[in-house]
Structure 1
Amino acid sequence: MDIIGIIPARYGSTRFPGKPLVDIGGKSMIQRVVEQCKKSSALKKVVVATDDDRIFEHVKELGHEVYMTSPDHKNGTERCHEALKLVNDSYDFVINIQGDEPFIDPKQIDLLASILNRKTEIATLIKNIDDIEDLQNPNVIKALKADSGLALYFSRSPIPHMRNIPTEDWMKSHQHYKHIGIYAYRVDILAKLVTLSPTPLELAESLEQLRWIENGYRIRTAITPIETVGIDTPEDVEKALKQMQL
Structure 2
Amino acid sequence: MPVLIVIPARYASTRYPGKPLVELRGADGEAKSLIRRSWDAAMQVSGVDRVVVATDDDRIADAARSFGADVVMTSVDCQNGTERCAEAVKNIDGDYDIVVNLQGDAPLTPAWFVEDLVAGLRAQPDADVATPVLRTEGRALNGFLADRRAGRVGGTTAVFGTNHNALYFSKEVIPYTGKNFADDDETPVFHHVGVYAYRPKALAAYPGWTSGPLEQLEGLEQLRFLERGTPVLCVEVDGKGREFWELNNPEDVPLIEAMLSKMGHA
TM-score, normalized by the shorter chain, greater than 0.5: yes
Q: Tell me which residue corresponds to 2:168.
A: 153
- Label 1:230 to 1:135 Cα distance change in 2 as closer, same or farther (>3 A): closer
Equivalent residue runs for 1:2-151 within 5 Å = 2-24=2-24, 25-117=30-122, 118-131=125-138, 132-133=141-142, 136=145, 137=148, 139-151=154-166
Q: Give the Cα separation in 1 of the matches to 2:85 and 2:214.
A: 23
Over aligned residues, Cα RMSD in angstroms? Answer: 2.3
Q: Read off the aligned partner of 2:142 and give its amino acid letter.
A: E
Q: Give the Cα separation in 1 of the matches to 2:91 and 2:76.
A: 15
Matched, 1:228 2:244: yes
Q: Secondary structure at the match of 1:7?
A: strand
Q: Secondary structure at the match of 2:251?
A: helix
1:98-146 residue CA offsets vs partner (Å, 9 max, x unmatched): 1112222111111111111242210001111323535644643221112
Equivalent residue runs for 1:187-198 within 5 Å = 187-198=200-211
Post-superposition shift, 1:158? 4.1
Equivalent residue runs for 1:200-211 within 5 Å = 200-211=213-224
Q: Give the Cα separation in 1 of the matches to 2:248 and 2:217.
A: 22
Name the stretch that deviates more: 12-21 or 70-79: 12-21
Name the stretch that deviates more: 221-230 or 33-42: 221-230
Q: Give the Cα separation in 2 of the matches to 1:15 and 1:158.
A: 19
- Label 1:200 to 1:53 Cα distance change in 2 as closer, same or farther (>3 A): closer
Name the stretch that deviates more: 187-196 or 207-216: 207-216
Post-superposition shift, 1:95? 0.5
Q: State TM-score, norm by structure 2.
A: 0.82
Residue of structure 2 aligned with 1:216, choices 204, 207, 229: 229
Q: Give the Cα separation in 2 of the matches to 1:51 and 1:145.
A: 34
Matched, 1:238 2:254: yes
Name the stretch that deviates more: 19-28 or 30-39: 19-28
- Label 1:154 to 1:244 Cα distance change in 2 as closer, same or farther (>3 A): closer
- Label 1:245 to 1:208 Cα distance change in 2 as closer, same or farther (>3 A): closer
Percent same amino acid at aligned positions?
37
Post-superposition shift, 1:34? 0.8
Q: Read off the aligned partner of 1:151 and give its amino acid letter.
A: A
Q: What stretches of structure 1 of length at least 5 have no aligned partner?
A: none
1:187-219 residue CA offsets vs partner (Å, 9 max, x unmatched): 011011111112233234332222211211011
Q: Read off the aligned partner of 1:56 and give its amino acid letter.
A: A
Q: Read off the aligned partner of 1:233 and give its amino acid letter.
A: N
- Label 1:196 to 1:33 Cα distance change in 2 as closer, same or farther (>3 A): same
- Label 1:244 to 1:222 Cα distance change in 2 as closer, same or farther (>3 A): same
- Label 1:26 to 1:147 Cα distance change in 2 as closer, same or farther (>3 A): same
8 Å CA contact 2:137, 2:186 repeated in 1: no
- Label 1:64 to 1:173 Cα distance change in 2 as closer, same or farther (>3 A): closer
Q: Give the Cα separation in 2 of the matches to 1:114 and 1:96.
A: 15
Q: State TM-score, norm by structure 1.
A: 0.88
Q: Give the Cα separation in 1 of the matches to 2:45 and 2:186.
A: 36
Q: Give the Cα separation in 1 of the matches to 2:231 and 2:74.
A: 28
8 Å CA contact 1:126, 1:224 repeated in 2: yes
Q: Secondary structure at the match of 1:15?
A: coil
8 Å CA contact 1:129, 1:135 repeated in 2: no
